[in-house]
Amino acid sequence: MDQHKPATVVDALAARQEAGRNESAQAPAGDDVVQQAIGSQLRAVYDEVVRLPVPDRFLSLLSSLDGRQTAPVAGKEQES
């Protein structure tokens, strides 16, 4: 079903991401098991960071940039 067989784990991962995180898009890796493991652990480690809650200061910042809703965050207003 895949157009081409990705040569590496990172290729496979990139292809997967593009394919909308579809598990079945992962290519059979053959002897590339180590690299697959590296790929999955890398994503696991990184996803922990991605999932960290975003501090409120950024929501306030975006609101202030928008020029509505809330008052500008102290001194950070650069819009004109």
Partner 1 sequence: MTDPERFKDALLAELQSLRAFAISITGNVERADDLVQDTVVKAWTNMNGYTEGTNIRAWLFTILRNTFYSDFRKRSREVEDDGAHASRLAVHAPQHGHMDLEDFRRALAQLPDDQREALILVGASGFSYEEAAEICGCALGTIKSRINRARARLGEMLSVTSGADFGPDADSFAAVAGAGAGVKTD
Closest of 49, 54, 13, 18 to residue 32, by C-alpha: 13
Q: How far apart are CA 17 and CA 76, in angstroms?
A: 35
Tokens standing for residue 61: 């910042």
Place of tokens 């994503």: 43
Q: Binding pattern to partner 1, positions 11-30, x when CB under 8 A?
A: --xx--xx------------
Which one among 5, 28, 38, 70 touches partner 1, defined by CB under 8 A?
38
Which one among 1, 50, 71, 74 touches partner 1, defined by CB under 8 A?
50
**Angle between the N-to-C axes of helices 9-18 and 33-50, in degrees from 0 to 180, rounded to the nearest 10:** 50
Which one among 4, 55, 71, 74 touches partner 1, defined by CB under 8 A?
55
Residues in touch with partner 1 (CB under 8 A): 8-10, 13-14, 17-18, 33-52, 54-55, 57-59, 61-62, 65-66, 76, 78-79
